[in-house]
Amino acid sequence: MSRSRKLAAGAVLVAAALLTAACGGGGDSGGASGGQSAQAGSGTGEIKVWGHQGEAGEVTALQQAVDSFNSSQTDVKVTLQLIPSNDYTKTVQATSADQLPDVLEYDGPLMSSFVYDGKLAPVDGLVSAATVSNQTASVKSQNTYPGDSKLYGVSMFDSGLGVYGNKKLLDAAGVKYPTGLDDAWTADEFQDALVKLAAVDPDGKVLDVKENYGGEWPTYGYLPIVNSTGNVVVKDGKAEGNLNSPAAVKAVEQFAGWRQYVDPNTDDKAFTDGRVALSWVGHWLYNPYAEALGSDLVVMPLPDFGAGTKTGQGSWAWGVGASSKNGAAAGKFLDYLMNDTNVAAMTEANAAPPGTTSVTAASALYKPGGPLELFSEQLAKTCGTNPPTESCVATPRPITPAYPVISQQFSQAFLNAYMGADAQAEFDKAAKAIDQDYEDNNGYTN
Amino acid sequence: MPRGWRGLKNTPPPMVRFPSHELEEVRVSTVSVPPVVDPTLDEPPATKRRDTKAALIMVAPAVILLLAFVVVPLIAAGWLSLHNVRLNSGRPATWFGLQNYTRLLTDPEFYRGLANNFIFAIIVVPVQTGLALGLALLLNRPLRGMSAFRTFFFMPVVFPMALVAVIWRLIYSRDTLGMLNAFLDWISFGHLGPYDWLGNAATAMLAIIIMSIWQGVGFQMIILLAGLQGISPSLYEAASIDKANRWQQFRNVTLPGLRTTLIFVVMVTTIFSFRLFDQVWILTQGGPNDATTTVMFQAVTAAFSENNVGKGAAITVVFFVIVLLITLIQRRILREEREVS
């Protein structure tokens, strides 16, 4: 036998082996609509927990919760593994369902993907009824999978959007501004405010919309504009006629028109340096802003584009791995994690809106009368997955396994429109791409 | 026994006739073309066998790596592009036929990306090669501290493109804090700008081209510098004795001496410029209005942002074919030129 032929045969073998290795891995662990249930198990023993490595304060709070859980009882022992937050989601995505730990953290909008891929188990029956009923309305809606209406996670904290204002600059320009949810600016009033502010501003740039943020920010930060016209991205598995409806497109066009007043904020100091009077961003900048502006800081809802002011919602949450053999123990740990002490310590560390009603009522920032009362008020009125109406405020990002596609398509269409492209054409294109994705995946029903 | 082992050729292998120093050369050439192991040879001498073995061992790392990182991924991409595959999905891939390809080839955005790739290559290849040649000529003089200058011009190549792009984002920023706008404002006493370099469809691609050339030119410069130093000084001496002026020396000594190096540089730059991705990802995300979208950018967003691996694979397969064709055509043209001269 000739050497070259042997070599060729060997090469084919190597190629075939590598190919199977590359294509395998996923396995055929897919499930029907909704995820598999975890086995309840004995409720004792060791459980593994994966968490994302957030900011230092968040890590300390989480570590402390785990330590005190382990020392408070002897039945369950938790081992916590922290994964850097930039790699966290990719790690969970790339891990097959049977390799996932008993308890894992996940980023809110990806819950549906994980359920669809059979990676998360429902937490109903594993965590106590008291824990579930103490969750705020907004996190409950965020953690419920529409495919089977079951709860797949519990949250220690939430998130929210608003417009921060610099009182001194607003007053100097003679701008009247809202004091709460009820008198939110309409889009036209907001535009008038921009014009008035720009007239007295040295460079005419008076608004910060965090152009410097990348990643998922456009979807989180600007999707409420579409929601504020009474539209959702996808209704009954269709984006056509919803995402690209005339009202939504008109609102995006109006927002794009404000770009001339927007500071690109390359140094991320536009608001704290007093270069702009208004900053369109989330709860996470309250502390730095309050420190820089003191009593000049005002917190306002986003402008109303026709169907009432809207805000984003949703953040990291905790679920149970679908392959867990010890769901009962996982539930015990989640109950403990959601107690007032731990949720209060965590939200003290990251200044996020608490995910439980009891801690919200006691939170210095978010309790009625607190400086960020507006945020908890917005989150209490969540729209869930229903098309938004005047009476609700917080809109979750689309709760569907198609979220990655929706986020990518919306961001691209929105940014193109913001840069001056034809908004209708951009959103038509995005709606078509989203609908095609649904079609390719049988509407994500199986 | 494979057929043809007892072949018709009875001539002894040529190498035995060569004196020993030439034998080395023949061995080298055997190594570089291993598949030409002639099985028709009668009575293969022992040395020949050992050579073949050595050749196979030496070529093995290259072959294995090429198989693992080029051939296998290419086959896998071909397979993936014919299926509906979702990233990280537990569901098995389903047969999709040519669906991914028909969608791609009817998608105007894909052609926009392809056009942008060509615009980028058509501007970057000649400008960057020309600039690199100029720099190499400048830096090929016996001056004190020349290595410091060379290091200086080579430095941008050492920095990762992602890092360079982040810095250039600050340069191109559309407000007056942007370094370029601040500079224009300063030299024009406030009459120019601020311009929205990356937000304007007319300037965004140009901005990316300029930063790419700045980052990449050092690499070509170093290769050309090596080529320049390979030209014998005696040729310049002879030329100056013939009273050739600097331009004539450049035309008739430098350029012919650099021909092979230049061909290499042009081909490598072409391939590099079609890979345009990092700058676009960091500076513009394909915008504004698709003015800077590229095929690589579309492939990456399809596969890793939309989790549509099948679509991403189809884009890379089509793109591979296009780049392969361009490289083949380029080789053809450049080789003909070489033969003519």
Residue B339 scores a pLDDT above 70: no
Can you tell me the distance from the alpha carbon of A285 to that of A221, in angstroms, rounded to the nearest whole number? 14
Which of A6, A12, A20, A23 would you mutate first to test chain B, the one with the most B CBs within 10 A?
A23
Beta-bridge partners for A163: A280, A300
Q: What is the ipTM of this complex?
A: 0.71
From B194, which residue of chain A is nearest by alpha-carbon distance?
A203
Pair A317, A127: CB distance under 8 Å: no
From B70, which residue of chain A is nearest by alpha-carbon distance?
A15
Residue B33 scores a pLDDT above 70: no
Residue ranges, CATH 3.40.190.10, chain A:
45-158+314-380, 161-310+402-444
Does B89 reach chain A within 8 Å, measured CB to CB? yes
The segments of chain A whose pLDDT lies below 50 read 1-33
pLDDT at residue B297, as a whole number:
93
Which of A120, A323, A419, A434 would you mutate first to test chain B, the one with the most B CBs within 10 A?
A419
CA B290 to chain centre: 24
Does B44 reach chain A within 8 Å, measured CB to CB? no
Pair A169, A274: CB distance under 8 Å: yes
* pLDDT level of residue B4 (50, 70, 90 thresholds): very low
Residue B29 scores a pLDDT above 60: no
Report the DSSP pairing between strands A150-151 and A144-145. antiparallel
* CATH dotted code for A161-310+402-444: 3.40.190.10
- Omega into B288 within 30° of 0, i.e. cis? yes
* CATH dotted code for B106-340: 1.10.3720.10
pLDDT at residue B161, as a whole number:
87
Pair B2, A2: CB distance under 8 Å: yes
Rounding to the nearest 10 degrees, give the CA dihedral for residues B264, B265, B267, B271.
130
Q: Please name the amino acid found at residue B136.
A: A
Residue B317 scores a pLDDT above 50: yes
DSSP symbol at A75:
S
Pair B257, B230: CB distance under 8 Å: yes
Q: Report helix, strand or coil for B245.
A: coil
- Partner-chain contact A407 B175, CB within 8 Å: no
Can you tell me the distance from the alpha carbon of B157 to that of B143, in angstroms, rounded to the nearest whole number? 23
Report the DSSP pairing between strands A103-107 and A316-321. antiparallel
* pLDDT level of residue B336 (50, 70, 90 thresholds): low
Q: Give the domain A45-158+314-380 fold.
A: D-Maltodextrin-Binding Protein; domain 2 (3.40.190)
Q: Which residue has the higher pLDDT, A37 or B324?
A: B324
- Mean pLDDT computed over B153-179: 86
Give residue-wise pLDDT tens across range B62-106. 999 999 998 999 999 999 999 988 887 777 888 888 889 999 999
Domain segments of chain B: what residues? 14-64, 106-340
